Structures are given as structure tokens and as C-alpha cells.
Structure 1
């Protein structure tokens, strides 16, 4: 395996990681922004008010998008396992 192939595999790994984590990160970002606006508008600075909604949003997204995420991880793993025989050359 050359440096170009290794770089390509790392690029693919980082792309899959970004795609798989994006739904959870975007949902938590949106909920965090909404909670921050609510806290500024009401001047309520409670610490649990910022963590609990984000945790619930992450859980809901993981439950709804979880099977797709597992499918993408399994797809990547199968692709990498199929590449093992060609790495010995």
C-alpha cells in the first residue's frame, strides 16, 4: 500500500465519520441555539436548562436515525475488510 492509497482511505474514513455524526451534531446545535435564545430572552441562567434539552434531542435523533448510522458503519467496515487481500501486494 502506498502513501496515496493510505491517504485515500483516511479521507474516506473522515468523510464517513462526518456524514454519520452530522445528524446528531446538527440537532444538538439547533436545540442549543434555541435554548440559548430562550435563556437570553428570559434571563434564566439555569445550567440544566442547557444540557437536558440537548441530551433529549440527541437521544431522539439517535433513536430515529440510528439504524441508518449502523448501516453506514457496517457498509464502511465491509468495504475495508474487502480491501485487506489487496493490501498485501
Structure 2
């Protein structure tokens, strides 16, 4: 395995991590901003008001798209194992 192959694998790792973690982070950020605006408007400052909706929406996101996320991770790991087997 040469240096460019390692660089390609590292780029794939970062892209895959953004594909898997990005939607959850974006949903969490959007929900946090919406709840913060509502808290500022109503002057109710309860910490659980931001936590519970984030938890529920991330759970729904994992139920809906968890299979495709695991499929992407499985394909990546198969590729990594193929690269390891070919370099040995």
C-alpha cells in the first residue's frame, strides 16, 4: 500500500463520517436553534426542552435511515478488508 492509497482511504473515512454523522448533527442543530428561539420568546429556560426533541428526532432519523447508514459502513469495511488482503 503506497501513500496515495492511504490518503484515498483517509478521504473516504472523512466523507463517510460526514455522510453518517452529518444528518444527525444538522437535525440536532436545527432543533436546538428552533427550541432556543421558542424559549427566548416564552422566557421558559428548561434544559430538557432542548434535549428531548433532539433525542426523539435523532431516534426517528436512525429508524428511517439507519439501514442505509449501516449499508454504507458495511461497504466501506468490505473495501478496507479487501485492501488489507491485497496488500498482505
Q: TM-score, normalised by structure 1?
A: 0.90
Distance in 1 of aligned mates of 2:30 and 2:71 = 25
Name the structure 1 match of 2:5: 5
- Structure 1 unmatched ranges of 5 or more: none
Unaligned runs of 5+ in 2: none
- Secondary structure of the corresponding residue to residue 27 of structure 1: helix
The whole-number CA distance in structure 2 between the counterparts of 1:50 and 1:13 is 30
Pairing 1:24–2:21 present:
no
Question: Which residue of structure 2 aligns with residue 59 of structure 1?
Answer: 59
Superposition misfits of 4+ residues, deviation over 3 angstroms: none
Matched, 1:71 2:71: yes
Q: Kindly tell me the number of residue pairs found equivalent between the two proteins.
A: 88
